[in-house]
Structure 1
Amino acid sequence: MNPYYTLVADRAAHRCEYCRAPEIVFNFHFEVEHIVPLYRGGNDEISNLALACRSCNLRKGTNTSGIDSTSNTEVSLFHPRQDRWDEHFQVQTESGAIAGMTPTGRVTVTGLGMNSQAQLIARQLWIRLGLFP
């Protein structure tokens, strides 16, 4: 396990810092990931670490930006230490979908596959159980 797991997980309230999935419903710990990957000049400082579910972490990989489909410009992915989640995303409680409200939100939702069928089904259940958002 990552030596920073406890600190990072506690800071994130044991939720994925990208899609807000609750760690408690999984049978394993979420991953400590580099917001700016080492590959892209990131570091191991706590300010560059985020808690991520397996789905978000795998899809994010070494990406730090994407092309916004509305503006057709390259924008940064959501940065958990610099951005406020509720300024970039909105949860649609009926469907369980996460809507990107800004270019950063849109590229993050798309790039991390936040509204895959599996994610939507899980999120609807979490909402019914009072575990999300």
Structure 2
Amino acid sequence: MSSTYISADLRRLVTARAGNTCEYCRIHEDDTFFGCHIDHVISEKHGGLTTEGNLAVACSPCNLYKGSDVGSVTTAGVFTRFFHPRTDDWHEHFVLVGAVLEARTAIGEVTARILQFNTPERTLERQALLEVGRYSVDVKR
């Protein structure tokens, strides 16, 4: 299945709205080797539209780990949707503790696990960025 074309104007709007930052793990595009992508929060495969309200900026790892998934099963065995950057408050679902992005909710749990926020490599990268003042979860919108 091929994706619908996203116009340059729509890409600019989505990127500017996110402050050139991944709306899932909050890494800035300038600090990622592979840059960022425009993500369909709800994939087209699941009926998501190519509209401003269903598009988000995602770094390459978050986008690749998320794929076309819309949620996962929690450790309690309950299917739970992923964090939605357009409708959810990031700080309600996640908290930065040192260089680790910890989940506060079931939505945060499944999102952090499937998008692999806290692999050793990503945590080390976040720690290095924190040390030089290049990482913040408080993205200006």
Distance 1:23 1:127 in 2: 15
Q: For the aligned residues, what is the CA RMSD? A: 1.4
- Determine whether 1:49 maps to 2:55: yes
Residue 63 (str. 1) matches residue 66 (str. 2):
no
Q: TM-score, normalised by structure 1?
A: 0.92
The residue that corresponds to 1:73 in the other structure is 78
Q: 1:33 aligns with which of 23, 29, 39?
A: 39
The aligned amino acid for 2:31 is V
3-state DSSP of counterpart to 2:38: strand
- Structure 2 Cα separation of the partners of residues 27 and 74 of structure 1: 33
Which residue of 2 is the match for residue 102 of structure 1?
Answer: 105
Task: Give aligned pairs, total.
Answer: 130
How far apart are residue 9 of structure 1 and its match?
1.0
Amino acid at match of 1:101: R
Structure 1 residue ranges (4+ consecutive) displaced by more than 3 angstroms after TM superposition? none
Unaligned runs of 5+ in 2: 137-141
Q: Corresponding residue for 2:134?
A: 131
Normalising by structure 2, report the TM-score.
Answer: 0.87
Distance 1:22 1:129 in 2: 13
1:27 deviates by 4.9
Aligned residue type for 1:45: T
* Map of 1:13 onto structure 2: 19
| Cα distance in structure 2, aligned partners of 1:89 and 1:109 | 9
Amino acid across the alignment from 2:115? L
